[in-house]
């Protein structure tokens, strides 16, 4: 149609056409809304426009008293944390990738391992020997997703083991292109005068030194397109009085993430961090919080509950996926609406 032909349309015709289009759109939106309310598909077969209500999606406190010796087991928690065992559905976002996850037996690490496997990645998990029963469940879930599963128990506060961990993971997986530094130690102490050098040192060895040792060893295996995701915490920006050493380590993780991201950018490697708020994991019930706080854990969050590990795993998937190729040196927070970062 020529420019002259376009001019033949009157203002009335144009307005009439727009009104007709808006009417059709409005009918479609009404149909979608109606379908969402009824829980049925829309007329064109699309799923209803519904979302999970975060207020009542998962258990709220009060919780029962449930002390454990550290490091704690997910299998002994009440209610048992949801890591996505039944609910997480992958879409091939990490197909062919090879990931190493520390602390992969329970909590956030377990949820990430499940998500990565269902997104198509082969996964190696590290954990302490005392956590073997939880780890076996994760290994079975990875295999059930049709992916290769590698279990490497050991203490990451030992530098030699950290080097072996990375090399064994890369050898058994046939490479390494995703590293998740997730394992952590958290033990509350009411006063600095009661915080021993031994405990302070162990927290830093677990949360900071191990991340450094493991990442350093991984650099020999990571190629352009690889991703590192570190687990920080809202404690880095809003430290609790009773978590003096833990909060310091989580702030150090953010600095490490931002600095390393700049250093390895020229290698085509991305480095990011996730900062969880109150999440329902064995870290809390095995000395991470006083039992009185565990029983009310998460009630101060705007959603009135702690997060479940399955709710944060998608952030780790996104940060590891090629779709986030321009994202590095960032800290993504999930804290139930508090807005710490």
The catalytic residues are 246
Question: Which of 257, 96, 266 shows the shortest CA–CA distance to 175?
Answer: 96
Q: Where are the alpha helices (DSSP H) in the chain?
A: 3-6, 11-38, 107-118, 132-144, 159-173, 197-204, 210-218, 244-264, 282-283, 291-295, 313-320
Closest CA to 165 of 110, 256, 102, 114: 102
If phi > 0 it is left, if psi is from -120 to 50 it is alpha, else beta; for residue 154 that is left
CB-based burial, 174-183: b 16+ in 10 Å, e otherwise: eebbbbbbbb
The rounded distance, in Å, linking the Cα atoms of 322 and 3 is 44
Per-residue CA distances from 248 to 198, 207, 278 (Å): 16, 10, 17
Triad 131, 309, 144: Cα angle to 5°: 65
Given a contact cutoff of 8 angstroms between Cβ atoms, the answer to whether 294 and 188 are in contact is no
Owner of token pair 């999930």: 334
Structure tokens at 304: 């009135």
């Amino acid at each position: 149609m020529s420019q002259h032909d376009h001019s033949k349309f009157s203002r009335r015709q144009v307005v009439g056409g727009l009104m007709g289009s808006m009417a059709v759109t409005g009918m479609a939106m009404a149909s979608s809304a109606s379908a969402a309310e009824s829980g049925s598909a829309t007329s064109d077969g699309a799923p209803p426009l519904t979302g999970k209500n975060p207020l009542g999606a998962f258990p709220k406190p009060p919780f029962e008293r449930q002390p454990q010796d550290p490091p704690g087991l997910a299998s002994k928690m009440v209610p048992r944390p949801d890591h996505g065992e039944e609910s997480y559905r992958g879409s091939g976002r990490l197909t062919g990738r090879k990931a190493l996850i520390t602390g992969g037996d329970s909590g956030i690490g377990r949820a990430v391992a499940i998500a990565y496997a269902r997104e198509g990645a082969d996964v190696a998990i590290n954990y302490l020997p005392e956590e073997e029963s939880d780890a076996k469940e994760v290994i079975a879930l990875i295999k059930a997703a049709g992916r290769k599963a590698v279990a490497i128990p050991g203490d990451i506060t030992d530098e030699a083991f950290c080097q072996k961990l990375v090399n064994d993971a890369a050898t058994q997986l046939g490479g390494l292109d995703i590293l998740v530094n997730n394992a952590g130690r958290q033990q509350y102490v009411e006063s600095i005068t009661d915080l021993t050098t031994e405990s302070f040192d162990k927290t830093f060895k677990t949360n900071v030194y191990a991340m450094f040792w493991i990442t350093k060893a991984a650099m020999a295996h990571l190629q352009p397109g690889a991703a590192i995701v570190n687990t920080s915490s809202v404690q880095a920006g809003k430290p609790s009085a009773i978590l003096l050493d833990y909060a310091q380590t989580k702030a150090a993780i953010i600095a490490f993430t931002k600095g390393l991201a700049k250093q390895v950018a020229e290698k085509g490697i991305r480095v990011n961090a996730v900062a969880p708020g109150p999440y329902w994991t064995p870290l809390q019930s095995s000395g991470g919080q006083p039992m009185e706080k565990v029983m009310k854990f998460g009630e101060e969050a705007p959603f009135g509950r702690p997060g479940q590990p399955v709710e944060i795993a998608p952030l780790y998937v996104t940060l590891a996926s090629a779709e986030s190729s321009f994202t590095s040196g960032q800290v993504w927070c999930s804290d139930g609406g508090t807005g710490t970062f």
